[in-house]
Amino acid sequence: MADLKTIEVPIQGMDCAECTQHVQRAISKLDGVQSVNVLLATEKAVIRLDPAKVDLPAIRKAVASAGEYSVPEIASPPRSSSIQNFNRQLMIVLALVFGVVLSIVIAGEWLGLFEYLDALVPFPIGVLIVLAGGLPVYRNVIRAALRRQIISHTLMTVGVIAALVVGQWVTAAIVVIFMRVGEYVEQFTTESARRAVKELTSIAPQTARVEREGAEVEVPVSEVRVGEAVIVRPGEKIPVDGEVIGGHATVDQSAITGEAMPVEVANGSHVFAATIAKLGSLRVKTLRVGADTTFGRVIRMVEEAEAHRADVQRLADQFSGYYLPVVAAIAALTFLLSRNPLSTAAVLVVACSCSFALATPVAMLASIGGSAKRGLLIKGGKYLETLARADMVLVDKTGTLTLGQPQITDVVPLNGMSASEILSLAASAERYSEHPLAEAVRAAARAQNASLYEPQDFESMPGMGVRAKINGNIVAVGSRRLIAAAESLPTVQELEAQGKTLLFLSRDDQLAGILAAADTLRPEVPTSLAELRALGITHIELLTGDNERTASALAEKLGVSYRANLLPENKIEIVKEYQAKGHIVVMIGDGVNDAPALAQANVGIAMGAAGTDIAIEAAHIALMREDWSLVPQVIRIARRTMGIVKMNLAFTALYNLIGLSLAAFGFLPPVLAAAAQSLPDLGILSNSARLLRQR
């Protein structure tokens, strides 16, 4: 197999859900293309291909052959149409106008106004009106036909012809009007779905004040270099991810974490791009810029979320592919049985497959976009769908259930060592470890002014501990797995029964001392676990690399089951084991050394992911702040989203079924059928918009 590459190609001209499928099909037919995902919201295609076989010109040609679509020469900024400034008032106005037009049509039909018009205007003039009014539509239909495609408008155009054949030009004209209105409604729906994502992008910082050669210059964010100092004044957006090197301020981090309460930052604190300095000025050393910042990553993930389609969406897409032929068949049958061209026209006109294709993505985009603003990064509809059905939760202990800031509480020297010698050896060995326990050891050593040595041959063993050469001796610090410890020591049992984590220290394979660390349970954990149980998730299990006794003390306190002495790879095995038994497994971790287990789980949720890359990359859902109440919340959001998706689909199916039956049996005049056709889109839109506003 040749080297495959994934590229992103911007696509212009996709205004309907049908469009993505045309483009999708055209690109996937190319030789050398392995997979394609066409994204409506971000107007691009993500293509996995063999660069030796396909190139951009070939893709450009394929896209153009699929219809009114194109690959722009240079990535153009998103076009700003008036539709983008969509708001509720506009929606209400639109609904009102629609209602008025609909009433006029109904009244006209009822009062016989249209027959009057039919009689008044000579037929040839009427035909001209119909032809002129629908010109852009016919052009599309003909072009599609030349490409051997049937689009919704193809059927409707046949309906228009049928109306003209029986001499009802007014009916034909009204159908044409609604075809154009429907086009607009669909564009509007697509645009508002995009809005959820675009609104997020719009809060990205644009400019930065940089210190260059002693002066302060304002430059576009893209020109800030890593290492440069930026100045942030009160009320300004912090332009980069960085470390505070001067000043102090309260910072509103809600853009990242969703938390409205500002936090205090001072020298040494980390700050995030797109957050706002409220009171006080800051000097910030730039660590990351643009797409590399936490905010940049969140945006990229939300934009790509559409690629991770839910199964319902795949089904709906397939279904909408079959829908038009089925409608054509029903129309043919109607004509054969009733010999009534008007009923046939009504059948052709009432059906629009778009709503099936729109029902899922509109709701998913609203939910994902709305959640991102609340500090919940959801990487795709697929994960919302799975999460809604999840039946068990596995949780990592250190850093996830606990604050991950353990304190050393006891130092027990053995074999003639002193407590300060133990601390100094342990802290020296842990000097370069990023584990929270290592930080605890270093802090304890600092507090006791213990001397530190430079470790040689430092080695870190995930889930076990560390080893290094200190002053010529091999020193190891870690769990029993690493050091054969004296299980029978009474202190060991006593400390572990208190729920403390023990670190054993050995020098040249001789047990030399024991350190005990205590970590604090996150205060909101018990309430959140209770909420999970109330949501029907009763199987909650603690997975930890810590020892049996410590784990059981905590598990008992929380009323959950547990597995202790696990290495990171054991956690993956446990996830697989439950999956094999048919469970849908949610794994919650901090992403530090449980990233592989997060990725293996059906849904991996990373806690407090702001600023930690691995967690954001490995998890399917990242909680941007360390707050357990987000866990039951995201499950509720998932269930609510799926509820709305199903409602959208059921509504569309029912609406079309009723519309088709009424039309086929001659109860629905074509003018009303045409009016009815664009209503489901609006229904889907307003139903899904509820997801943007959830708490």
| Known catalytic membership, residue 15 | no
Going by C-alpha positions, the residue among 12, 61, 13, 14 that lies closest to residue 33 is 61
The piece of 239-247, 254-262, 285-293, 475-483 that touches ligand ADP (CB under 6 A) is 475-483
Task: Tally Cβ neighbours within 10 Å of residue 682.
Answer: 18
The piece of 37-45, 395-403, 405-413, 425-433 that touches Mg ion (CB under 5 A) is 395-403
| Cα 309 from Cα 162, distance rounded (Å) | 39
Residue 479 sits in the site that holds ligand ADP (CB under 6 A): yes
Report, in Å, the least distance between residue 486 CB and Mg ion: 26
Paired with 396 in beta bridges are 543
| Cα 657 from Cα 30, distance rounded (Å) | 37
Of 464 and 675, which CB lies nearer to Mg ion in the complex structure? 464
Which partner in ligand ADP, Mg ion, none is near 437 (CB below 5 to 8 A by kind)?
ligand ADP
Binding-site member from 398, 641, 652, 687 for Mg ion (CB under 5 A): 398
Paired with 549 in beta bridges are none
Tokens representing residue 14 in the block: 């996709």
Radius of gyration of the chain (CA): 32
Residue 626 sits in the site that holds ligand ADP (CB under 6 A): no
Task: Tally Cβ neighbours within 10 Å of residue 94.
Answer: 17
Ramachandran angles phi, psi of 414, nearest 5°: -130, 165
Residue 641 sits in the site that holds ligand ADP (CB under 6 A): no
The piece of 57-65, 264-272, 539-547, 554-562 that touches ligand ADP (CB under 6 A) is 539-547
Per-residue interface string for the shown chain with ligand ADP, residues 359-398, x marking contact by CB under 6 A: -------------------------------------xxx
Tokens representing residue 148 in the block: 């051997």
Of 374 and 435, which CB lies nearer to ligand ADP in the complex structure? 435
Of 348 and 394, which CB lies nearer to ligand ADP in the complex structure? 394
| Cα 465 from Cα 467, distance rounded (Å) | 7
Binding-site member from 355, 424, 433, 633 for ligand ADP (CB under 6 A): 433
Residue 519 sits in the site that holds ligand ADP (CB under 6 A): no
Report, in Å, the least distance between residue 591 CB and Mg ion: 9
Residue 467 sits in the site that holds ligand ADP (CB under 6 A): no
Tokens representing residue 633 in the block: 């919340």
| Cα 151 from Cα 353, distance rounded (Å) | 9
| Cα 665 from Cα 678, distance rounded (Å) | 21
Residue 501 sits in the site that holds Mg ion (CB under 5 A): no
- Write down the catalytic residue from 241, 396, 519, 681: 396
Helices 419-429 and 436-447: angle between axes, nearest 10 degrees: 140
Of 301 and 606, which CB lies nearer to Mg ion in the complex structure? 606
Report, in Å, the least distance between residue 544 CB and ligand ADP: 4
Going by C-alpha positions, the residue among 182, 133, 132 that lies closest to residue 155 is 182
The DSSP result for 39-62, as a single string, is ETTTTEEEEEE-TTT--HHHHHHH
* CB distance 589 to 400 below 8 Å: yes
Going by C-alpha positions, the residue among 239, 248, 293 that lies closest to residue 269 is 248
* CB distance 399 to 590 below 8 Å: yes
Report, in Å, the least distance between residue 72 CB and ligand ADP: 48
Ramachandran angles phi, psi of 2, nearest 5°: -70, 170
Residue 399 sits in the site that holds Mg ion (CB under 5 A): yes
Report, in Å, the least distance between residue 422 CB and ligand ADP: 13
Of 20 and 593, which CB lies nearer to ligand ADP in the complex structure? 593
Residue 370 sits in the site that holds Mg ion (CB under 5 A): no
* CB distance 616 to 377 below 8 Å: yes
Tokens representing residue 156 in the block: 């409707």
Of 64 and 461, which CB lies nearer to ligand ADP in the complex structure? 461
Report, in Å, the least distance between residue 393 CB and ligand ADP: 16
276-279, strands of its sheet edge to edge: 263-265, 249-252, 276-279
Residue 503 sits in the site that holds ligand ADP (CB under 6 A): yes
Tokens representing residue 485 in the block: 């410890």
Residue 346 sits in the site that holds ligand ADP (CB under 6 A): no
Report, in Å, the least distance between residue 683 CB and ligand ADP: 47
Sign, Cα dihedral of 396, 402, 406, 411: negative
Q: How far, in whole angstroms, is CA 176 from its chain's centroid? A: 38
Which partner in Mg ion, ligand ADP, none is near 313 (CB below 5 to 8 A by kind)?
none
The piece of 237-245, 385-393, 431-439, 598-606 that touches ligand ADP (CB under 6 A) is 431-439
Instruction: Return the residues of window 544-563 that contact ligand ADP according to CB under 6 A.
Output: 544-546
Instruction: Return the residues of window 93-122 that contact ligand ADP according to CB under 6 A.
Output: none
How far is CA 346 from each of CA 105, 185, 220, 399, 612, rounded to the nearest angstrom?
15, 20, 56, 62, 57
Residue 438 sits in the site that holds ligand ADP (CB under 6 A): yes
Which positions lie near ligand ADP, rule CB under 6 A? 396-398, 430, 433, 435, 437-438, 463-466, 477-479, 501, 503, 544-546, 593
Enumerate binding residues for Mg ion (CB under 5 A).
396, 398-399
Task: Please give the positions annotated as active site.
Answer: 396
